Amino acid sequence: MGIYLFAVIAPFIALWLAVFKPRDPASRNVVWIFCISYGSLFFIAPWSTSDSVRYAARLREMHSDDFGFRDLRQLFFAEGSRLQDLYEPLLTYLVSMFTDQYWLLFAAYAFVFGYFLSRNIWFLVDRAPKKVLLSIVLLIVAFAFARNLGSGINGVRMWTALHIFLFGLFHYFAFGQKRYIGLIALTPLVHFSFWFAVVAFVLSLAAKRLQIAVFVFFLISFGAAYIDIATVRNLMGFIPLPLEDRAGSYLRGGELVMEGLAVRGQRIWFLELNRQLLEAFSIIAASWLMWRKGAISSPLVRGLLVFGMLFYGLINLVAYIPSMGRFVNLAQMAILASVVLFLSDLRVAKPTDRFVSLGLSLLWVINTALAIRFMAGFVSVWILAGNIFMAPFITAYMPLYDALMRLLGR
């Protein structure tokens, strides 16, 4: 109990203690408490176009006297409405009943996101061998930062849904309990587009004995020609309403993003390099596991790998839609987790496997560095010495990242 009290008072220090004592049963909860503290000290730049600015504005709107539950209900499923999910608007409305201060809203976001994030990380930690192996440590670190805490809270709908989906995926393939399928099926309520992931999950169950066919599809998909967006619109005609209207809005959003990319021109080189490295990781890791027959070493490894390959292949077919391309994170994390779990089974993993995995872990270095940078960019400097009790009384004028750059004279 003492460690939890310490984590609430000094979350940043407690985080480091938890990281270096991962086998302590309290460590996962200490990380969870840190996530909540991070959310309460979340930094919002008013001049930015981040999603968090819109969430804070919605909180203030809902807190006004003339906004009630009837107004919220009318927003759901309305044609052209951007409120296409239940989770975020409902949670925002509940918080708005008490305050219009966004520190409490983002603490609430972090409460849910941090729970599933910490549980997914420790799902891998608990199955890692007691002997510390550098290859496994590096890959778990890569998994922990694959979808970093800062971006995860800023894009709370998409990335909370991702970790809930992974939580259900891990536990269903590990224990076979159908209640986890129910959890997976609920993720579209957190982010509507997760109907795509749910369909892929169902297909992966049907294809669990067709690993070779899925692997071939996965490889071929990287060279597949993009489907014209008009074709997808025609296919929307076969989707029952109101699903068609809601899915169509994502396509419209994708078209707008594509126009923006055309104006911006070339992508930032290190972001493009990072994308290529993670793509290379997925191809090499899947090929390696298939060659080593890691795909059939256990139902857990097989399930995650088949899902990851199948889903990645499907994403490649619709990768021209930027909003769908975000799902690559889920496919990559499923493949990454399958590698970690394969290596953790010392009965089948050989020293050669660990050597190969060290090379694979290097492909995540840029992504991990970017994650740390974004985490520092989405939180105030008070995260180093503050806590959730201080959040209502302090104001930050710059994020931690900018403060560190000024300190370094940059």
Ramachandran area for residue 409 (φ above 0: left; ψ -120 to 50: alpha; else beta): left
Q: What is the pLDDT of residue 295?
A: 62
Asked if 295 contacts 225 with a C-beta cutoff of 8 angstroms, the reply is no
Asked if 361 contacts 343 with a C-beta cutoff of 8 angstroms, the reply is no
Contacts of 5 (CB under 8 A, 6+ apart): none
DSSP state of 193: G
Q: What is the pLDDT of residue 2?
A: 87
Torsion of CA 204, 180, 312, 271, to 10 degrees: -170
Provide the H-helix boundaries in 128-240. 134-146, 149-154, 156-175, 179-185, 195-206, 211-221, 229-236
Q: What is the pLDDT of residue 256?
A: 39
DSSP state of 10: S
Q: What is the pLDDT of residue 254?
A: 41
Is the N-terminal amide bond of 22 cis, ω within 30° of 0? no
Mean pLDDT by 10 residues, the chain (410 residues): 92 94 94 97 85 91 83 67 78 93 96 97 95 92 94 94 98 94 95 94 92 93 63 51 44 40 55 92 95 80 95 86 82 97 88 90 95 94 93 87 85
CA-based R_g, the chain, Å: 21
C-alpha span between 305 and 169 (Å, rounded) = 11
C-alpha span between 319 and 175 (Å, rounded) = 33
Enclosing domain of residue 182: 2-406
The pair phi, psi for residue 409, each rounded to 5°, is 75, 25
The pair phi, psi for residue 217, each rounded to 5°, is -60, -40
As given in the structure block, the two tokens for residue 268 are: 């930032």
H/E element, 338: helix 328-344
Q: What is the pLDDT of residue 78?
A: 56
C-alpha span between 42 and 55 (Å, rounded) = 12
How many domains are there within the chain?
A: 1
Q: What is the pLDDT of residue 255?
A: 40
As given in the structure block, the two tokens for residue 262 are: 């055309």
b/e map of 58-82 (b: 16 or more CB within 10 Å)? bbeebbeeeeeeeebeeeeeeeeee
